[in-house]
Amino acid sequence: HLYTRKQYIKEIFQYQLELQMKNLKMYREAVQDRIDIIVMSGTDFGAQNGPLISPNLYREVFKPLHKAMNDWVHENTNWKTFFHTCGSIVDFLDDFVSAGVDILNPVQISAAGMDPDFLKKNYGDKFVFWGGGVDTQKSLPFGTPENVKEEVENNMLTFGKGGGFVFNTVHNIQATVPIDNLVTMFETVREKGTYDYLEKRSLKK
């Protein structure tokens, strides 16, 4: 229905926006500046190999909603806006910037076009990357502890350079992940996941 009944969907979204604005005002009254971050969207716009919808459809249907909510937050609070959206979302990133998104999650580095170096180079001054710490499709469940350690350190070094990074696995840790891999991930983050360490490593590269 998103494409075939576009006007109907827009009307639903407009109603949702009105409700969301009321909710945001209630949140502000209740918590003021006792929070730093607010989750604004959990809609997945990407699949493994590309976007789930066209960027044009996003701009027409979703972006006005997102921009209105983010603008209100930025104009009325000190909060940062958090967007969870899986998959290959590279085609939407410029629109997310202009819609006022502050934080991206989960940063699915295994999806098409989501290379950590590319993301940091082109968007490192525009978003906080909350995720992308280690791939949960292949590396964490099927790699060796050495693979996990190398990927975790490399991704922290890439995303952490200059700030703007919160380590997080790309998605949920599944029950079949080997315990050695999980322990290695946590130990690597604990030992090497500080900006001081990452800055020193960056200067050596």
The residue extents of the domains of the chain are 1-100, 106-205
Give the Cα separation of 185 and 148 in Å (integer).
6
Task: Give residue 196's pLDDT.
Answer: 82
Residue with tokens 């249907």: 61
Q: Indicate the pLDDT class of residue 201, thresholds 50, 70 and 90.
A: confident
pLDDT in tens, 102-130: 999 999 999 999 999 999 999 999 999 99
Task: Give residue 83's pLDDT.
Answer: 98
Query: What residues contact residue 134 under an 8 Å CB cut-off, 6+ apart?
Result: 140, 148, 151, 152, 155, 169, 170, 185
pLDDT in tens, 164-191: 999 999 999 999 999 999 999 999 999 9
Give the Cα separation of 55 and 73 in Å (integer).
24
Q: Indicate the pLDDT class of residue 204, thresholds 50, 70 and 90.
A: low
End-to-end CA distance of the chain: 50
Of residues 205 and 36, the one with the higher pLDDT is 36
Q: Biggest alpha carbon distance in the chain?
A: 56
Give the Cα separation of 72 and 69 in Å (integer).
5
Share of the chain above pLDDT 70, in %: 98
Task: Give residue 205's pLDDT.
Answer: 55
Task: Give residue 4's pLDDT.
Answer: 83
Q: What is the mean pLDDT of residues 88-111?
A: 98
Q: What is the mean pLDDT of residues 123-146?
A: 98
Half-sphere exposure of 166 (CA within 13 A, CB side): 11
Residue with tokens 């964490």: 140
Average pLDDT, the chain: 95
pLDDT in tens, 14-55: 999 999 999 999 999 999 999 999 999 999 999 999 999 999
Query: What residues contact residue 170 under an 8 Å CB cut-off, 6+ apart?
Result: 106, 107, 108, 109, 110, 131, 132, 133, 134, 135, 136, 137
